[in-house]
């Protein structure tokens, strides 16, 4: 796709108005860049936009409108988000624009996608409100989602993190677990804790949990809630029912981002019950504003043997599908 450049001046030149338009650490401009698939540079009130012609035109019109509004009201990320939605930004950026590299800055350093699929996944999370990451173990689905959530919290783009998992036994009968609610569900949520500890450190995670800035909960406790200004991650989504998936997706409010991760080869539901993740793929694949990223064994970033194990099971399953399971 051909690229074009637009240069223009926003007048009158006012420092406070420019800061209002740009947002903290140029966060508003970064949101527009990612959503529309353009590059925005400015020196004071002189702006330069580079990208596909249609997207550049929309970005310039949006910036001019926001400049006018910035004289009278404080611009916020939810307000920018709504304006982007109004001009159908998702449709512009999804398929026709090569994903921009997204660098996530957290305590452990800068995290970037390893390979094309991870880069696409991070770009999709930055440009869509609801995102699905689907693929085998070890491809970084949950890790990258938690990293994106931590960065959003650190930059005050969201007010809280909510990490959710369905409490389904993975082929084991655990029986009655003693203790309070937290002690009962913690074993199911341990992978989310591990990712948080790596991103923030144990002490900070404990403090944020005490203040309810970070909430880790079983999926059943999402019913009836509306989640505004929150970053919500649903992990192990292959073990949701159709009703649970619909319930979760309809909790999302203004200023919120949701990431749903799962592996369709590791469903622990009863055999007669269809996975809510598999159903969502059928129902939502063409819904604008929802992204789907599919990982494969070549995207595995754990021990090299993990990729070979995934390939071996996939080959066996393909053979069984063709000839029927062996005795």
Q: Are residues 176 and 294 in the same domain?
A: yes
Whether 262 and 277 have beta carbons less than 8 Å apart is answered as yes
pLDDT digits (tens, 9 = 90+) for 270-299: 888 899 999 999 999 888 889 999 988 777
pLDDT of residue 174: 45
pLDDT of residue 185: 61
Residue 91 has pLDDT above 50, yes or no: no
Torsion-angle region of residue 89: left (phi > 0), alpha (psi -120 to 50) or beta?
A: alpha
Q: Are residues 144 and 221 in the same domain?
A: yes
pTM (two decimals)? 0.66
Domain boundary among 71, 93, 115: 93
Q: Are residues 20 and 51 in the same domain?
A: yes
Give me 143's structure tokens: 């890790």
Closest listed residue to residue 232, CA positions, set 243, 219, 246: 219
Whether 193 and 205 have beta carbons less than 8 Å apart is answered as yes
Please list the alpha-helical segments (H only) found in the chain: 15-22, 27-36, 53-70, 77-86, 89-93, 116-127, 141-154, 181-200, 202-210, 242-249, 276-284, 304-323
Neighbours of 49 (CB within 10 A): 24
Residue 95 has pLDDT above 50, yes or no: no
Whether 32 and 84 have beta carbons less than 8 Å apart is answered as yes
Count how many domains the chain has: 2
Closest listed residue to residue 76, CA positions, set 217, 205, 255, 269: 255
Whether 61 and 99 have beta carbons less than 8 Å apart is answered as no
CA pair distance 313, 290, nearest whole angstrom:
30
Domain contains 162? yes
pLDDT of residue 88: 52
Give me 303's structure tokens: 């021990």
Closest listed residue to residue 258, CA positions, set 161, 327, 119: 161
Q: Are residues 158 and 305 in the same domain?
A: yes
Give me 140's structure tokens: 């970084």
Give the contacts of 99 (CB within 8 A, at least 6 positions apart): 119, 120, 123, 124
Closest listed residue to residue 289, CA positions, set 127, 141, 55, 148: 127
pLDDT of residue 15: 92
Domain contains 98? no
CATH number at residue 303: 3.40.50.300
pLDDT digits (tens, 9 = 90+) for 3-39: 899 999 999 989 999 999 999 989 899 889 888 889 9
CATH number at residue 78: 3.30.1370.10
CA 245 to chain centre: 16
Domain boundary among 70, 93, 116: 93
Domain boundary among 93, 123, 146: 93
Q: Are residues 127 and 235 in the same domain?
A: yes
Regarding predicted confidence, which is higher, 99 or 7?
7
Domain contains 325? no
pLDDT digits (tens, 9 = 90+) for 108-145: 677 777 777 888 899 889 888 899 999 988 888 988 99
Percent of the chain at pLDDT > 70 equals: 84
Domain contains 327? no
Residue 94 has pLDDT above 50, yes or no: no
Q: Is the dihedral of CA 238, 242, 244, 245 positive or negative?
A: positive
Q: Are residues 217 and 77 in the same domain?
A: no
| Residues spanned by the domain of 63 | 3-93
Percent of the chain at pLDDT > 90 equals: 35
């Amino acid at each position: 796709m051909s690229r074009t450049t637009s240069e223009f001046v926003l007048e009158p030149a006012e420092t406070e108005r420019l800061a209002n338009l740009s947002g903290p650490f140029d966060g508003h401009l970064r949101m527009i860049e990612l959503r529309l698939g353009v590059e925005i540079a400015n020196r004071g009130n002189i702006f330069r936009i580079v990208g596909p012609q249609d997207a550049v035109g929309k970005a310039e019109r949006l910036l001019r409108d926001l400049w006018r509004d910035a004289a009278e009201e404080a611009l916020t990320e939810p307000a920018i988000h709504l304006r982007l939605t109004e001009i159908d930004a998702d449709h512009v950026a999804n398929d026709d624009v090569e994903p921009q590299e997204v660098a996530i800055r957290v305590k452990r350093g800068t995290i970037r996608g390893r390979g094309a699929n991870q880069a696409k996944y991070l770009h999709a999370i930055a440009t869509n409100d609801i995102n699905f990451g689907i693929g085998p173990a070890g491809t970084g689905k949950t890790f990258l989602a938690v990293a994106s959530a931590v960065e959003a919290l650190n930059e005050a783009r969201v007010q809280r993190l909510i990490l959710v998992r369905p409490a389904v036994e993975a082929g084991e009968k655990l029986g009655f677990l003693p203790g309070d609610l937290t002690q009962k569900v913690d074993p199911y949520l341990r992978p989310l804790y591990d990712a948080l500890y790596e991103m923030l450190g144990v002490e900070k995670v404990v403090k944020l949990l005490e203040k309810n800035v970070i909430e880790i909960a079983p999926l059943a406790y999402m019913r009836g809630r509306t989640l505004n200004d929150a970053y919500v991650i649903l992990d192990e989504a292959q073990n949701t029912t159709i009703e649970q998936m619909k319930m979760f997706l309809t909790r999302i409010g203004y200023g919120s981002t949701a990431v749903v991760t799962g592996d369709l080869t590791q469903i622990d539901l009863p055999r007669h019950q269809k996975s809510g993740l598999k159903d969502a793929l059928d129902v939502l694949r063409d819904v604008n504003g929802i992204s789907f990223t599919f990982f494969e064994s070549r995207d595995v970033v754990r021990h090299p043997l993990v990729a070979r194990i995934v390939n071996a099971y996939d080959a066996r399953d393909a053979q069984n599908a063709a000839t029927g399971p062996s005795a």
